[in-house]
């Protein structure tokens, strides 16, 4: 799938649809669509397997310049919504651009064609208040249950003040829609607090004995409104905000953001900075995959492997700390470069660490591929066919274990991956065992890459100067995070802060896998299947908590004490 053939195929398709197509960048094509032909075009794209749907971005185009949120009551006449459907094929990105009026915006749902799109469409409906026609009715997915109805956080006129005004007179939030679990069934709830989950999410599993007959999902327990927050902060501050999207893969988020902003500004980081970014990204992948291996082993009740992998993970954590001073949020990226250099002594320390780590990783590969008791919990479980995985747009190791040859580092090399090519790992077994194997083999590959980068670190500066204001423009950045393809849409209106930052995290794309394979499996397999995508909830939920009625504000110590005495008073007497 070369870039040229992909781009040619788009222009041919565009001709056949009789639409207006422009190419804003070398690897991009934009096609303006209407409500009328959206479904036809999406269906055609998916039928011909042109590519996969990677993200749906919405924008509230408030003002002509679009930068500052319009003052209240002062909505410009040309205000409208834009929705972008981003399809990817190899390095090429095709964006279907749809404009919607500001009054009662509605769009037909594409989930009839592509079921996995429903999660992103629900996000659209909740955060922008755009009605998605044909979306199955379900409770909220991301926003908290006490978020007032009719208030849409990502609209430009939603500001802290407008939220206060709204909630002062707002009707109470709608009664929580009961789970779509069928009544009369035995339902096992998993989460939001449950030992199987390291982060909050909520699954309702209908079971018949030990067999799962239905699943429903609720996310958003750690939604922090990062996309909204980004619009109110300067470009540089957002770097630190993006780093906090995820606690495990913090570097890759700030890297994707930095690459996006640099693309919009037309400034490239120097080669040494690019190499260091890749170095840290690969070290982060080692840390993330080792962490995952431990969690997967724990879900399978194999605590010995869990303890050993986490012990060895300390090695890479210590190395990251040596280079950056931090174990988790490395804070390596700057707009226009990196903050830390890797000198020869640090490079040697990393090599020594890898000398220790590599034999361990090889040993773990032996365990996960030969240990009979572990294989009994992974082999033939959660089988997801190549065809399904490709169609539903699953990403990362989850996808590659289903033998779909897709890895952003290979297909569309970014940063220094052109100079340090990656040998991607695939597996044709399509089951959980394959997902484990692929990740452990990626560990080996990452170790090799780290060494390659250390051996050929380009000389030069760490960073270049970066302006405070970024010229108007937009960029789409795709990077390969440990969990799969991470998508960033960055748009500047020429101001000191972004106009829109859209993040589509790999975990969000991978829920389609969990939801489609869970039914029919045994209850005991579900934690394993969930962990098979290496879910990262803090990534995929990114809120505000508004209290209403008698639960005003934050409860202080005295309030808590009073509450406790009320609650237990009867018993105490």
Partner 1 sequence: MSTFLIIVTYLIFPGGLFVVAGGLVYEYADRKLVARFQNRVGPRWFQPLADFVKLLVKEEIVPAGVNAGLFVWLPVAALAAALAAALYVPMAGLRPSWSFNGDLIATVYLLMMMTLCIGVAGANTSDRFSLVGAVRALTQLFAYEAPFLLALLGPAILAGSWRISEINGYAQGHLWMIVTQPLGFLVALVGLMGKLELPPFDAPEAETEIVSGALTEYSGRGLAFFRLGRDIELFIGLTLISAFYLGGLANPLQFLVKTLVLLLVTAGLQSLFARLRIDQTVGLWWRIGALLALVQLLILVILKTSGVPL
Distances (CA, A) of 462 to 249, 319, 343, 549: 22, 20, 12, 53
Does a cis peptide bond (omega within 30 degrees of 0) precede residue 192? yes
What's the min distance (Å) between Cβ of 263 and partner 1?
42
What's the min distance (Å) between Cβ of 91 and partner 1?
40
* Cβ nearer to partner 1, comparing 138 with 188: 188
The CA distance from 285 to 409, in Å, is 13
What's the min distance (Å) between Cβ of 33 and partner 1?
45
Contacting residues for 495 by C-beta, under 8 A, at least 6 apart = 65, 67, 68, 469, 470
* Cβ nearer to partner 1, comparing 36 with 195: 195
| Helices H / strands E in the chain, number of each | 19, 15
How are beta strands 186-190 and 202-208 bridged, if at all?
A: antiparallel
What's the min distance (Å) between Cβ of 398 and partner 1?
19
Q: What are phi and psi of 482, to 5 degrees?
A: -55, -30
Interface residue list for partner 1 (CB under 8 A): 186-189, 194-196, 207, 209-210, 297-305, 307-308, 311, 371, 373-374, 376-377, 522-527
What's the min distance (Å) between Cβ of 360 and partner 1?
12
What's the min distance (Å) between Cβ of 372 and partner 1?
9
* Cβ nearer to partner 1, comparing 161 with 373: 373
* Cβ nearer to partner 1, comparing 187 with 369: 187
* Cβ nearer to partner 1, comparing 57 with 309: 309
* Cβ nearer to partner 1, comparing 375 with 399: 375
What's the min distance (Å) between Cβ of 569 and partner 1?
15
Distances (CA, A) of 299 to 214, 304, 431, 522, 534: 21, 12, 16, 14, 12
The CA distance from 370 to 484, in Å, is 26
* Cβ nearer to partner 1, comparing 108 with 200: 200
* Cβ nearer to partner 1, comparing 290 with 453: 290
Placement of tokens 């090889």 in the chain: 362
Residue ranges with strand state E in 154-270: 186-190, 202-208, 211-218
426 contacts 403 by C-beta, under 8 angstroms: yes
Closest CA to 204 of 139, 109, 290: 139
The CA distance from 246 to 249, in Å, is 6
What's the min distance (Å) between Cβ of 205 and partner 1?
10
């Amino acid at each position: 799938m070369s870039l040229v053939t992909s781009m040619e195929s788009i222009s041919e398709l565009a001709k056949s649809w009789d639409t207006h197509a422009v190419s804003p960048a070398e690897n991009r094509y934009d096609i303006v669509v209407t409500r009328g032909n959206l479904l036809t075009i999406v269906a055609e794209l998916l039928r011909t397997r042109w590519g996969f749907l990677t993200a749906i971005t919405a924008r509230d185009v408030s003002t002509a310049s679009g930068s500052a949120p319009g003052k209240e009551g002062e909505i410009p006449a040309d205000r409208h919504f834009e929705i972008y459907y981003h399809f990817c094929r190899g390095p090429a990105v095709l964006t279907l651009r749809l404009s919607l009026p500001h009054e009662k915006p509605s769009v037909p749902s594409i989930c009839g064609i592509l079921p996995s799109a429903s999660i992103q469409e629900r996000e659209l409906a909740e955060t922008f208040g755009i009605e998605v026609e044909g979306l199955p009715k379900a409770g909220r997915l991301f926003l908290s249950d006490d978020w007032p109805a009719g208030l849409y956080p990502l609209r430009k006129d939603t500001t802290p003040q407008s939220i206060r005004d709204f909630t002062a007179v707002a009707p109470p939030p709608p009664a929580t829609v009961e789970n779509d679990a069928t009544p009369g069934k035995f339902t096992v709830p998993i989460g939001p607090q449950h030992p199987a989950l390291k982060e909050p999410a909520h699954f309702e599993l209908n079971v018949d004995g030990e067999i799962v007959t239905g699943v429903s999902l609720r996310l958003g327990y750690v939604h922090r409104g990062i996309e909204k927050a980004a619009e109110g902060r300067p470009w540089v501050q957002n770097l630190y905000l993006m780093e906090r999207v995820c606690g495990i893969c913090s570097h890759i988020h700030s890297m994707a953001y930095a690459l996006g902003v640099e693309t919009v500004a037309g400034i490239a980081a120097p080669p040494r900075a690019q190499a260091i970014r890749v170095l840290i990204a690969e070290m982060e992948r080692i840390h993330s995959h080792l962490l995952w291996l431990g969690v997967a082993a724990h879900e399978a009740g194999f605590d010995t492997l869990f303890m050993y992998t986490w012990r060895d993970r300390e090695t890479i954590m210590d190395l990251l700390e040596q280079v950056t001073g931090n174990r988790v949020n490395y804070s390596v990226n700057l707009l226009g470069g990196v903050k830390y250099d890797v000198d020869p002594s640090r490079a040697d320390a990393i090599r020594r660490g890898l000398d220790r780590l590599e034999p361990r990783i090889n040993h773990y590969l032996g365990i996960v591929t030969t240990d009979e008791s572990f294989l009994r919990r992974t082999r033939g479980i959660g089988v997801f066919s190549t065809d399904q995985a490709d169609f539903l747009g699953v990403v990362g190791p989850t996808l590659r274990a289903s033998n779909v040859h897709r890895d952003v580092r290979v297909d569309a090399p970014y940063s220094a991956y052109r100079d340090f090519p990656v040998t991607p790992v695939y597996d044709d077994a399509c089951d959980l065992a394959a997902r484990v194997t692929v990740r452990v083999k990626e560990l080996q590959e990452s170790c090799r890459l780290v060494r390659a980068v250390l051996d050929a670190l380009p000389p030069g500066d760490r960073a270049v100067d970066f302006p405070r204001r970024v010229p108007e423009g937009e960029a789409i950045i795709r990077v390969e995070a440990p969990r799969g393809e991470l998508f960033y849409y960055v748009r500047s209106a020429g101001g000191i802060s972004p106009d829109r930052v859209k993040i589509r995290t790999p975990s969000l794309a991978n829920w389609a896998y969990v939801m489609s394979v869970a039914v029919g499996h045994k209850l005991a397999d579900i934690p394993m299947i969930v962990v098979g995508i290496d879910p990262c909830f803090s990534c995929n939920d990114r809120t505000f908590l508004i209290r209403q009625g008698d639960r005003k504000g934050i409860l202080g110590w005295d309030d808590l004490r009073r509450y406790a005495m009320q609650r237990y008073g009867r018993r105490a007497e």
